[in-house]
Amino acid sequence: MSILFYLAIIIASGLFMARILDKVKLPNVTGYLVAGLLIGPSILGIIPKEIVGDFSVVSEVALAFIAYNIGSELNFAHLKQMSKGIIVITFVQALMAMLFVVLTMILFFKQPFTFSIILGAIGAATAPAATLMVVRQYKAKGPLVDTLLPVVAMDDAVCIMAFGISTSIASTLINSTGTISITNLILLPIVEILGALVLGLFMGIILVLITKRIKGEDELLCIVIAAIFATAAISIKFNLSSLLSCMMVGSTLTNIIPNNKKVFSSVERFTPAIYVAFFTIAGIELDLSILKSVGLIGIAYVISRVIGKVFGSYLGAKISGAPETIRKYLGYTLIPQAGVAIGLSIIAQNILPASYGTRIRTIVLAATFIYELIGPLITKKALILAGEIKTA
């Protein structure tokens, strides 16, 4: 059967399951993952195992646009308006989540450093959609929400930077044949990261110059898609981080032409089906057969990340002099994890040896199910305890 037929099944089943789970107030991404798990080789086998690898281009495209959209939120004029406390909290909670996961994997489970640092970097990510859904549904207002919204907006960008550094270090360690000098361990990752950022800046500037001459939205959409595809392809060709480079393209556009909303809104017409396919395929690739082998490590990842988020938020809020309610409850609102984490796990699977990469992918996908189920409930409870949801 044609791959297009299977892709049609993937998109349709993802949408159908998301609509069903919406009845019990679960995020769409959970529906996509459940649909993929059901139609994948692990359960019903509607999508054959041998065909799954052919969908890799969908993942590459989706990741490029996820990074581009995150970059479009990094408007430096807006960042300057944020208080230093917000920036401190964002970096500290992301760093603590990463640190707690890394230390747990190394100290308690004796996992290799490369495995631990990449899993830790993924742990820094937060899913803003589930959190924002709770805030909007219950019309939450107050200091905690005012802090939460900019933190979740910046959090994934910090995570992508941390992941870019971690993967560069891991690649250097994995690909080295002999002893590794400190210079190489530091220099090579810096070169890779700077290379990705320079490429993204260059492609972004070219895109700005071209878009100024374009008036039609259809033509604009085609040019933006071509630029993002080219940026991702060049990054992959030269072993640079496609996430960082595509994020830089979005950031360059939003800072040079901040009022040109068409550059970003036009892309929103193209991405919905890509995202549905991406997350459903992620569910298809969830290997239930190895869940037992990663069960304890997976539980430890879920718990250590939550502890890191809660402690990091408290520490960051205390350093910045934030009110007590923010110190106590902010971390609990940052528990949800979905899109970016899944995307990073796919990249990790390609970077690490097969045994480690598959485990990371399975751990993150299983954790996503848990986080997306309990995350919104805990977020709601935290906002109630903070007095920012009215409980008449």
What pTM did the predictor assign?
0.80
Cβ atoms within 10 A of the Cβ of 149, count? 14
For 55-271+290-385, which CATH class? Answer: mainly alpha
Q: Which two tokens stand for residue 28?
A: 């769409």
Convert the pLDDT of each residue in 201-255 to its tens digit: 999 999 999 888 887 788 888 999 999 999 999 998 888 888 889 989 988 998 8
Task: Tally the residues of the chain.
Answer: 392
Average pLDDT over residues 6-35: 87
Cβ atoms within 10 A of the Cβ of 272, count? 11
User: Is a pLDDT exceeding 90 seen at residue 306?
Assistant: yes
Query: What was the pLDDT predicted at 330?
Result: 93
User: Is a pLDDT exceeding 60 seen at residue 392?
Assistant: no
Convert the pLDDT of each residue in 77-109 to its tens digit: 776 766 788 889 999 999 999 999 999 999 999
Answer left, alpha or beta for residue 389, where phi above 0 means left and psi between -120 and 50 means alpha: beta
The proportion of the chain whose per-residue pLDDT surpasses 70, expressed as a percent, equals 95
Cα–Cα–Cα angle for 222, 29, 76, rounded to 5 degrees: 55
Average pLDDT over residues 137-149: 84
Query: What was the pLDDT predicted at 38?
Result: 92
- Which residue is listed with tokens 């040896």? 353
User: Is a pLDDT exceeding 60 seen at residue 384?
Assistant: yes
Cα–Cα–Cα angle for 18, 23, 25, rounded to 5 degrees: 85
Convert the pLDDT of each residue in 38-73 to its tens digit: 998 888 889 988 888 888 888 889 888 888 887 887
In Å, how far from its chain's centre is CA 127? 7
Query: What was the pLDDT predicted at 200?
Result: 94
Query: Are 232 and 280 a contacting pair, CB within 8 Å?
Result: no
Query: What was the pLDDT predicted at 43?
Result: 86
DSSP string over 328-372: HHGGGGG----HHHHHHHHHHHHHS-HHHHHHHHHHHHHHHHHHH
- Which residue is listed with tokens 């002893």? 179
Residue type, 314: Y
Convert the pLDDT of each residue in 349-379 to its tens digit: 888 888 788 889 889 988 887 887 788 888 8
In the chain, where does DSSP find H-type helix?
3-22, 28-39, 49-52, 56-72, 76-81, 84-103, 113-123, 128-137, 143-175, 182-211, 217-237, 242-256, 262-265, 271-284, 291-319, 324-329, 339-351, 354-385
Q: Which two tokens stand for residue 155?
A: 């959090």
The rounded radius of gyration (Å) of the Cα atoms in the chain is 20
Query: Are 367 and 307 a contacting pair, CB within 8 Å?
Result: no
The proportion of the chain whose per-residue pLDDT surpasses 90, expressed as a percent, equals 30
Give the separation between CA 371 and CA 354, rounded to whole angstroms: 25
Convert the pLDDT of each residue in 165-216 to its tens digit: 888 888 878 776 555 666 666 777 788 888 989 999 999 999 999 888 887 7
User: Is a pLDDT exceeding 70 seen at residue 7?
Assistant: yes
Cβ atoms within 10 A of the Cβ of 4, count? 8
From first CA to last CA, the distance across the chain in angstroms is: 56
Q: What's the DSSP call for residue 389?
A: S
